């Protein structure tokens, strides 16, 4: 049993993009695992992932082979840095630059930013959850710390309550995949909505070095302080809407 896959490229700026595969259940999978039953959707999802992890691992390795992965923006060895940020900063960055600026100031003010910020979404328990890190160049070296929901071999799994609109999670997903590549070859990140009711089971995000350029340029602008807000659908629920001139 395998998933059906549909590929698309999410574009960022004029030159960059990330390849994403929508994973759909085939008919037997739909009937056996995801049909209406008394067991919760989340439990069925975990059973499905356990059964399909070898196939996902194979796909991650094969699909990342087609991408250019090596990048001067990433280091794994000890590097001098001034700032340590949680990987979720990339979610804020892809929503709007001003939000990531606010988030950086907030992180600096917290005693243990990592645990407060890297919250778990949903209630799904699957695989191993551990802290990972890398150094990322954005005009200066920044230590990025992340706790993906699960890492199994070369597959990072991130659960989310979001379905359909996952664009703002792609930066973090790519960074998680690079964190995983410190120990494994050919890592990709599977974003899995924990809420039922959609057609797809998840989204397999394939990293590439070009997108790191984009993230690096964006974060560098924010660190330099040259930021503007951008009124967008996230403003309504934004943590900073009361202090943001665009949020009211
Ligand atoms: S309220 Fe909107 S414009 Fe302001 S920081 Fe939040 S997301 Fe950005």
pLDDT in tens, 96-137: 999 999 999 998 887 655 545 555 555 677 777 889 999 999
Average pLDDT, the chain: 89
> Residue 245's pLDDT is what?
87
Q: What is the pTM of this model?
A: 0.93
> Residue 112's pLDDT is what?
59
Residue 240 beta carbon below 6 angstroms from any ligand 1 atom: yes
Strands (E) in the chain, as ranges, are 4-12, 16-24, 74-75, 83-86, 132-137, 141-146, 150-152, 155-160, 188-193, 202-206
Which of the two residues, 47 and 60, has the higher pLDDT score? 60
CA pseudo-torsion sign 114, 117, 123, 127: negative
Answer left, alpha or beta for residue 98, where phi above 0 means left and psi between -120 and 50 means alpha.
Answer: alpha
Residue 183 CA to residue 196 CA, distance in Å, equals: 33
The tokens describing 204, both together, are 């397999």
Q: Which residue, 234, 224, 209, 202, is CA-closest to 55?
A: 202
pLDDT category at 246 given cuts 50, 70, 90 is confident
Q: Whose CA is nearest to atom 2 of ligand 1?
A: 235
Q: Which of 91, 98, 232, 245 to mutate to test the pocket of ligand 1 (most atoms within 8 A of CB)?
A: 98
Residue 222 beta carbon below 6 angstroms from any ligand 1 atom: no
pLDDT category at 36 given cuts 50, 70, 90 is low
Query: SS3 of 174, please?
Result: helix
Which of the two residues, 39 and 232, has the higher pLDDT score? 232
Distance 28 CA to ligand 1 centre (A): 43
CB neighbourhood size of 23 (10 A):
21
Q: Are 217 and 73 in contact (CB under 8 A)?
A: no
Q: Mean pLDDT: which of 29-43, 77-91, 216-230, 232-246 is highest?
A: 77-91
Q: Whose CA is nearest to atom 7 of ligand 1?
A: 235
Residue 239 beta carbon below 6 angstroms from any ligand 1 atom: no
Distance 207 CA to ligand 1 centre (A): 27
Q: Which residue, 178, 12, 202, is CA-closest to 94?
A: 12
- The C-alpha angle with vertex 36 and arms to 35 and 37, in degrees rounded to 5, equals 110
């Amino acid at each position: 049993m395998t998933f059906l896959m549909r590929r698309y490229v999410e574009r960022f700026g004029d030159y960059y993009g990330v390849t994403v595969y929508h994973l759909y259940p085939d008919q037997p999978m739909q009937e056996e695992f995801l049909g209406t039953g008394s067991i919760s959707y989340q439990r069925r999802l975990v059973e499905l992932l356990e059964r399909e992890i070898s196939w996902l691992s194979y796909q991650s390795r094969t699909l990342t082979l087609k991408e250019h992965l090596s990048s001067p923006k990433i280091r794994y060895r000890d590097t001098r840095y001034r700032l340590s940020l949680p990987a979720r900063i990339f979610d804020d960055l892809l929503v709007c630059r001003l939000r990531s600026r606010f988030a950086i100031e907030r992180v600096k003010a917290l005693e243990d930013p990592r645990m407060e910020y890297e919250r778990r979404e949903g209630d799904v328990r699957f695989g191993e959850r551990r802290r990972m890190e890398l150094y990322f160049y954005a005009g200066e070296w920044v230590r990025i710390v992340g706790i993906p929901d699960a890492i199994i071999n070369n597959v990072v799994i991130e659960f989310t309550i979001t379905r359909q609109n996952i664009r703002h999670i792609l930066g973090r997903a790519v960074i998680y995949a690079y964190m995983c590549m410190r120990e494994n070859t050919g890592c990709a990140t599977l974003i899995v909505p924990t809420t039922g009711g959609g057609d797809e089971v998840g989204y397999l995000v394939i990293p590439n070095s070009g997108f790191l350029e984009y993230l690096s340029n964006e974060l560098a602008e924010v660190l330099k302080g040259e930021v503007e807000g951008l009124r967008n659908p996230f403003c309504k629920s934004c943590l900073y809407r009361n202090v943001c001139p665009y949020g009211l």
